[in-house]
Structure 1
Amino acid sequence: MQASLPPRLAIRPRGPIDARVEVPGSKSITNRALLCAALARGESTLEGALESDDTQAMRDALAALGIPIDAAGRVWRVAGRAGALGVPSHPIDVRASGTTARFLTAAATLAPGPVVLDGTARMRERPIDDLVRALEGLGARVEILGRDGCPPVRTLGGGLEGGCAEIDARRSSQFVSALLLAAPYARREVRLRLVEGALVSRPYVDLTLRVMRDFGAECGFDGPGTLRVVAPRPYASGRHRIEPDASAAAYPFAAAAITGGRVRVPGFAADSIQADLALLGVLERMGCRVERRAAEIEVEGPPGDAGLSGVDVDMNAFPDAVLALAVVASFA
């Protein structure tokens, strides 16, 4: 039986868009900040954090590790325990959250006893063996309980010794971020060498380093293909503001580009390094005007008689902006 089509809806814009758009907080920053706050000593507050399936999975997993989190209002409060995680009596369900699974596989090694991390059927198909091998290289004890190098995984406790380890980051930069986030709690300095010097989605590792430094870590690249984290050096608690999500902001920016209008999105730091803000440079190449102020980004599309120019762009470093740009490209 053929389903009936919905009635046609005519959309007649009054003119080019001119709007100020509030965008939700960044998922990538929220989950990184949640983990840093959980490992810090004392209470941290997170303003503008994103409420989503991924961040709820991270919050619930941290709660299972003994970290009290109050997320009732716009300001979340995280009672950090200086790296002293608890040992849950049941497996932790990370659901379908890749960042939760990977970040906590590394962080759970800091617990004094075994921690099992499991997730959805799809999560059980996402390999994690590259991360586990690197953790073992830093002295952690981790077992893969799933098939073909996939979750569930069990960390056996005892912490991270530190030292130097190799990490294959050709499949996912989240493996590198996971190691970095736990590294300040190793017993000695941590150095990570990238296999073949390769690192996909480098901007997300830069974002991890930025969040870690905001919590007091001393970390960064130490020559080509090597990262260094000073340890032991616990995170410091404090008050942190989560930037808007650049992936979500891509859509109002796209609306400005298509209509020849103007959109302003507040909340971005002038030196923001979120990967998907690379879309702004692409929009400029297509004929848009982009202005980055101290706490706001403004995009204005070209006037109707000018139109958008086509571009050839490699979006490997900011893949989450592909859909928004695809819509814009259809008007070029």
Structure 2
Amino acid sequence: MNITLQKSQIANSQSKITITGSKSESNRLLLLKALYPSINLENVSNSDDSCLMTDALKSTSNVVDIHHAGTAMRFLTAYFSIQEGREVTLTGSKRMKERPIQILVEALQELGAEIEYVENSGYPPIKIKGKKLTKNRVSLQANVSSQYISALLLIASKLENGIELTLEGEITSVPYIKMTLSLLDEIGVESSFIGNIITVKPNTQNSTPNTLTVESDWSSASYYFSIAALCEVGTEIILSSYKENSLQGDSVLVEIYKSFGVETTFENNTMTLVKSSIANCQSSIEFDLANAPDIAQTIAVTCFALGLACNLTGLHTLKIKETDRLVALKTEIEKLGGNVNITDKSLHLSASNTIKEYVPIATYNDHRMAMAFAPLALKTPIVIEEAEVVSKSYPTFWNDLESIGFKITK
């Protein structure tokens, strides 16, 4: 389904949006609930990824297909490795079979797991024979995807001797690692993160009944930060439910979007975005997004829409997402009239005051491509191809945009 976003404006000066739980927190907690059934969860994400995670954890089949859900692939690889006596083949979409899993598989094998590749070495699908793991020491390069690290930490308390994980080199995506450890702490699992060594102690007891409320998703909030940045001074957007001291790495949006004239306040689990001034007048904006790569697309499009140059670094993980997001950003922004240079870990956008109308934006089976480009409708009419892809993380996105004044036709 392709949709056209006509040139729009926010319907009134104060718009309210409710966003469901964080996909990142939800998928971690869903796995922990499978390990500790007494946990109760509220405000779980309604995203495709979290629904797939839920279904996979309940499945009794010996083949589990997680489609495009990369987080689920990583977390479930670890989970099924410790399900004693069960044999599962974990597979996914064509793109998922192109996304590497070798680093995690080798780490689990180092702990004693039985995993083999079904088609291509280093990539899904994989066959896992669940067993009791007694080894507890493992090392990973510190700059790998935090999902590999979190996958190991999430199952660690159910290993006979826990885990001592050594991260070699400079650590990236620290907020996501700390999120995992904080959630473990909330259910009573002891851990430590000292220097480059993370230790999780074994927990043979089932955790006491505990109700955990998932904070709303900051990655989804990023599109409203972009919208606020492109609006007139005085526009307010109210989002719920958000915490000022969030576990989510993408909460750096609060600081980043000050450069675009957006101020953020918190009260009673709601977050209010106010366009308080024109965007920062410096000629080029620079951000290191190593700890929050999922908001790179949003920031790049915001800068393009405002005619600002930007240099975004720390983006090495974007090449192995739903698509190669760096190539996709370059292609689509240049179709709109921009000029982008990329390396394997950075993006450089030149300042431009030209935005072409009615350009069809390809989404590459990537939910974030669709949502990141949507705010451009505040500047010019735009077409989003395969718009239904947003269901991966934010199924009600288009309805929510309409509710605040965006004009959308199918």
Residue in structure 1 matched with residue 70 of structure 2 by the alignment: 98
> RMSD of aligned C-alpha atoms?
2.4
CA shift, 1:8, in A, is 9.8
Residue in structure 2 matched with residue 180 of structure 1 by the alignment: 153
Q: Which residue of 247, 253, 276 corresponds with 2:219?
A: 247
- TM-score norm. by structure 2 comes to 0.67
Q: Distance in 2 between matches of 1:254 and 1:220?
A: 36
Q: Distance in 2 between matches of 1:8 and 1:135?
A: 46
SS in 2 for 1:115: strand
Q: Which residue of 267, 291, 301 corresponds with 1:317?
A: 291
Residue in structure 2 matched with residue 40 of structure 1 by the alignment: 36
Question: After TM superposition, where is structure 1 displaced by more than 4 Å over at least 4 residues in a row?
Answer: 6-10, 12-15
Q: Distance in 2 between matches of 1:191 and 1:156?
A: 23
Q: Which residue of 232, 239, 249 corresponds with 2:203?
A: 232
List per-residue Cα deviations over 1:146-168 (Å, max 9, x = no partner). 31311122222222214211123
- Aligned partners of 1:258 and 1:328 also within 8 Å: yes
Structure 1: tracts of 5 or more residues without a match: 1-5, 66-87
CA shift, 1:107, in A, is 1.0
* One-letter code aligned to 1:224: G
Residue in structure 2 matched with residue 61 of structure 1 by the alignment: 56
SS in 1 for 2:287: coil
Residues 63, 289 of structure 1: alpha-carbon distance in 2 compared, 3 angstrom cutoff: same
- Aligned partners of 1:185 and 1:231 also within 8 Å: yes
* Corresponding position: 1:122 with 2:103: no
Residues 314, 200 of structure 1: alpha-carbon distance in 2 compared, 3 angstrom cutoff: same
Structure 2: tracts of 5 or more residues without a match: 309-410
* Corresponding position: 1:52 with 2:47: yes
Residue in structure 1 matched with residue 122 of structure 2 by the alignment: 149
- TM-score norm. by structure 1 comes to 0.82
* One-letter code aligned to 2:172: V
- Aligned partners of 1:41 and 1:234 also within 8 Å: no
Residue in structure 2 matched with residue 266 of structure 1 by the alignment: 240
List per-residue Cα deviations over 1:27-74 (Å, max 9, x = no partner). 1111111111111043x3321111222112111111115xxxxxxxxx
* One-letter code aligned to 2:150: S
**Bigger relative contact order, structure 1 or 2 (CA pairs below 8 A, ≥6 apart):** 2
Residues 117, 308 of structure 1: alpha-carbon distance in 2 compared, 3 angstrom cutoff: same
CA shift, 1:9, in A, is 4.3
- Aligned partners of 2:225 and 2:262 also within 8 Å: no
Give the paired residue count: 298
Q: Distance in 1 between matches of 2:105 and 2:53?
A: 19
Q: Which moved more, 1:163-172 or 1:23-32?
A: 163-172
Residue in structure 2 matched with residue 110 of structure 1 by the alignment: 82
Q: Distance in 1 between matches of 2:202 and 2:160?
A: 6
Residue in structure 2 matched with residue 21 of structure 1 by the alignment: 17
Alignment map for 1:264-303 (pairs within 5 Å): 264-293=238-267, 295-303=269-277
SS in 2 for 1:227: strand
Q: Distance in 1 between matches of 2:289 and 2:141?
A: 21
